[in-house]
Chain A
């Protein structure tokens, strides 16, 4: 199944221009339900006045910004049009940062970039980014919206991930430190030992959305007319002293490692 590109742009870096096509790199796989009435018919949505429930037709709906409770400044279509960014095909790369500089919180939606007529420069830029361990900070306008994004190299290809803006991210640096006593050197040593015992590679293929699978399986059997009886699982809560918890965890990890080695 060949994917369809969602947008075309041109990476502008110094005097070089590299035309690219954007492809969504992720697709949401949540189980999608429809809202139905009790006769199992599809239903519609409309807007009604909060006050008396009277319907308001689409062409009568206006948009407002609430400046104080109950007071709105109306924004017309022309108003909203006037603040939209100018359309452009350019993906401007103003600066670069080392790849460990952007906290994970900023990454929003990733796109694969494909070369669109200039493979030579495309693959050279991907290799330059990988070799220098940097990512580019990109600015562009796509579908009437201005984006900041990170241009990265991944497995020899370029990806462009949209980034959240400053207002959308709460920085941990500005938060108070958690209270409580500092751990002792001995405890810290044990904790680091445990972390090192559990250290491994990130292998995404090891994980599946088991909840999604359970829901789909349940729907399938219900469609055939025999809904399985479901038991409510009880929550369990264990409280153990930290020291003995650490010792036990270390012992458990060691044991399972020995087992898999045998």
Chain B
């Protein structure tokens, strides 16, 4: 079942740019301390440190050849109860959209999973790396959450948490009562208050015309930004 992938998470909305003393946009560059020269992309390599200052260079091509099949197919190996996966494993979300005439299989899978409260466990390849994912049926849409591998999740033993102690029933009861009393039916996500405060401050400074700089250079920065949301919506609608 071929699918397309779209990020289901996005960056916060107040990114700051680094500027020069007169407000000129800056770029990050690699340079060599020995030659004091900037290095272009074709002048740098990727090295793995096998010993102090001893590196094994690995090329893009080698990594590509080590990567598994570049297929967009998702290899569903099993289904588990959607609520049985500890949240420790979840990393990032992606929406899957049907591709190449797979609408029917897609809808069928989404509906069957939703009916029985199941999530699919699958592996698939994204950006040259094999990912372990859990696939959830979410309002008729399939959403894949990439998961951490078990050796990336630490256990209670690794951390050496103290032995469990049996709490007194009275204390448990006291807390359970508070928990029940303060329970809301639905979760309300927090707003990014720091971003809101930053935007408010930016607005204030802009109205006062304090610290506003204009870049006279020709390099515009916000051009050609693809509106991913529009592409995602079109893809779901099958257009």
Task: Report yes or no: A134 in contact with B179, Cβ–Cβ below 8 A.
Answer: yes
Task: Report yes or no: B20 in contact with A25, Cβ–Cβ below 8 A.
Answer: no
CA distance A114 to B56 in the complex (A): 40
CA distance A4 to B171 in the complex (A): 29
Q: How large is the interface on B (under 10, 10 to 19, 20 to 34, 35 or more residues)?
A: 35 or more
22 example contacts (A-B, Cβ-Cβ < 8 A) are as follows A29-B152, A35-B47, A49-B20, A50-B217, A51-B219, A63-B19, A64-B17, A64-B213, A72-B17, A72-B213, A83-B197, A96-B183, A106-B187, A107-B87, A120-B167, A146-B193, A165-B12, A165-B189, A166-B190, A177-B236, A178-B107, A222-B56
Closest 10 CB pairs of A and B: A180-B103, A179-B238, A128-B175, A124-B167, A230-B65, A124-B171, A191-B112, A148-B190, A74-B211, A172-B138
Interface string of A225-236 (1 = CB under 8 A from B): 001001111111
Known: A3-B160, A53-B38, A100-B83. A35 touches B44 (CB 8 A): yes
* Main secondary structure on A side of the interface with B: mixed
Smallest Cβ distance from B179 to chain A, in angstroms? 5
Task: Report yes or no: B103 in contact with A170, Cβ–Cβ below 8 A.
Answer: no
Known: A154-B86, A183-B107. A120 touches B95 (CB 8 A): no
Task: Report yes or no: B56 in contact with A219, Cβ–Cβ below 8 A.
Answer: yes
Total residues of chain A contacting the partner, CB 8 A: 159
- Residues from chain B with Cβ under 8 Å of A86 in the complex: none
- Residues from chain B with Cβ under 8 Å of A62 in the complex: 18-21, 23
- Residues from chain A with Cβ under 8 Å of B129 in the complex: 211
Nearest opposing residue in chain B for A84, CB measure: B194
Known: A75-B16, A164-B189. A202 touches B212 (CB 8 A): no
